[in-house]
Amino acid sequence: MDRKFVIWGIGTRGKSALDFIGAERTAAFIDNNTNVVGDDYFGKPIISLDEYLESYRHCFIVISMAFAHQTQSVEMQLAEKSVYSYFILNDCPCRSEAVRIGEIPLEMDARQSNAIYGVNLFSVLLYYHLMQIGCEKLCLISQKSMNPLVLEQVKEHFPEIKIAGIGEISDTDRVFLTVIGVDDREACMKTGCEVENAYDFSDRIELNHNPDLKKFKDVHKGKRCFIVCTGPSLRFEDLDKLHESGEICISMNMVYTGFPNTKWRPDYFVSYDIRIDTDVFDGLDIKHKFIADAYYPFWEKAHDSSVYEYHISFEYESDDSPKFSNDFSKTVFGSTSVTYLCLQLAVHMGFSEIYLLGLDFNYFSGSLEHFTDGYIDSVKTASKTSITNFEPVLAALLTAFEKAKEYAEENGIRIYNATRGGMLEVFERVDFDDIINS
């Protein structure tokens, strides 16, 4: 395949897309940030949408946004320009972007396959790979939810790909299923053919597993912990009480901006995005720190043995709720807050009671506030960005917390909200003072 792609977004997801597609198939990056247009990103030019329309329209776009509301915003921009030649990275199977297409651990004999169900970036690249290794009879089956305007562009840009209907699959065919929709799964199964779920193979990509994290499995089985968030309701006297009581604590991001005011330190620290100040972070007196592999700027620098790498994945159930991991060493599922990651770490460690503290969940007012005055300045300095519309972010996070509650109830784990005030009502409310003094 000699056709090239343009990736929308220069974040960590954009880098993942580049790794998956390959530099040789990537022509450029698109980004809305005018401050970066004209620069290079991993050797590829960063262009504007107008420049794409003028000089790169022969390239298919790959939208690499992590969250649905971000993707929808890009789709709206493209629709205004009547552009429908795009794939969405989130439509690819979980973690496929972590490895090249020929390294995907498919179980069915690829050379004997007849069809790939689902039209997306993954299925198109898989199609060409299977043809290259000797598949003679192969087609793509369009999923029910496929935008017909996008499908027409796929046919135009990739004319050598045969696209068929579900009715053309016979019970002797072998089909790779590359979409997550329940209706699509049922449609394939009803044909009576041999089907391999090529969507969820996350546990089979050993490249992303970190065996060093296995030692934390059930290390605190049956105990309780506090996940300390950084909302404005968090008090230094609360942190002092946690310290004096010897409570096991997990915290996040730039909680260290409050360290000058308390002797408390979390036992475990979690972060996954570019908001950490790496220079400050290296000197933190925290025993165990967990940083996502997606934060490549950090991993390009030296780090000490107290830092553990984990793999973050954005994979969703058919109802658009994020998945919840029970094995932190293999993968951790992301949402719009690091708190969701902390919950998965707590479950991995075996805690049976989890208390949330400082999780105010009240950003609907449009203000971003934390428990220290200097916190937001650190965020802006580290990330160079700020959030202006919190509603879709919090809506996604609310869905994530509901998923966490569902998982906890099914597995005999209790999650409580010990925050002073705030707007999160998913978890049972408890009084922090009563808990800490009991």
Show me where the domains of the chain are located. 5-91, 96-204, 209-437
**CB-based contact 8:30 (threshold 8 Å):** yes
> Which residue, 187, 93, 263, 11, is CA-closest to 30?
11
Least confident span in 12-21, 228-237, 404-413: 12-21
pLDDT at 271 over 70: yes
Task: Note the pLDDT of residue 284.
Answer: 78
**Rounded CA separation 169/184 (Å):** 13
Q: Which residues contact 2 (CB under 8 A, 6 or more apart)?
A: none
How large is the angle between the packed helices 12-21 and 121-132, nearest 10 degrees?
Answer: 20
Task: Note the pLDDT of residue 41.
Answer: 93
Tokens of 216: 């934390």
250: three-class secondary structure by DSSP: strand
pLDDT at 407 over 80: yes
**CB-based contact 9:65 (threshold 8 Å):** yes
Topology adopted by domain 96-204: Rossmann fold (3.40.50)
**Rounded CA separation 117/164 (Å):** 10
| CATH topology identical between 5-91 and 96-204 | yes
Task: Note the pLDDT of residue 270.
Answer: 93
Q: What is the per-residue pLDDT across 31-51, written as a single tens digit (0 to 9) for each? A: 999 999 999 999 999 999 999
pLDDT at 326 over 60: yes
Tokens of 373: 């005055």
**CB-based contact 202:334 (threshold 8 Å):** no
- Beta strand extents in 50-127 (DSSP E only): 60-63, 86-88, 115-117
**Rounded CA separation 48/60 (Å):** 15
**Rounded CA separation 260/275 (Å):** 20
What are the start-end ranges of the H helices in 22-170?
Answer: 49-51, 68-80, 121-132, 148-157
- Mean of the per-residue pLDDT values for the chain? 84
pLDDT at 366 over 60: no
Q: What is the per-residue pLDDT across 196-213, written as a single tens digit (0 to 9) for each? A: 777 766 666 777 788 999
Task: Note the pLDDT of residue 180.
Answer: 66
pLDDT at 365 over 60: no
- Beta strand extents in 165-267 (DSSP E only): 174-177, 194-197, 224-228, 249-252
> Residue with structure tokens 């790496």?
278
Q: Which residues contact 127 (CB under 8 A, 6 or more apart)?
A: 116, 138, 140, 161
End-to-end CA distance of the chain: 66
Residue 109's region, left for phi above 0, alpha for psi from -120 to 50, else beta, is beta
pLDDT at 279 over 80: no
Sign for the CA dihedral angle at 321, 19, 201, 134 comes to positive
Count of alpha carbons within 13 angstroms of residue 434, beta-carbon side: 8
Task: Note the pLDDT of residue 386.
Answer: 44
Q: What is the per-residue pLDDT across 146-188, written as a single tens digit (0 to 9) for each? A: 899 999 999 999 999 999 888 777 777 788 778 766 667 777 7
Residue-level length of the chain: 438
**Rounded CA separation 26/209 (Å):** 27
Over residues 395-402, mean pLDDT? 89
Q: What is the per-residue pLDDT across 2-27, written as a single tens digit (0 to 9) for each? A: 789 999 998 878 888 898 898 999 99
CATH class of the region 5-91: alpha beta
What type of residue sits at position 165? G
316: three-class secondary structure by DSSP: strand
Count of alpha carbons within 13 angstroms of residue 435, beta-carbon side: 20
What is the Cα 122 distance to its own chain's centre? 17
**Rounded CA separation 17/98 (Å):** 8
How large is the angle between the packed helices 391-410 and 68-80, nearest 10 degrees?
Answer: 140
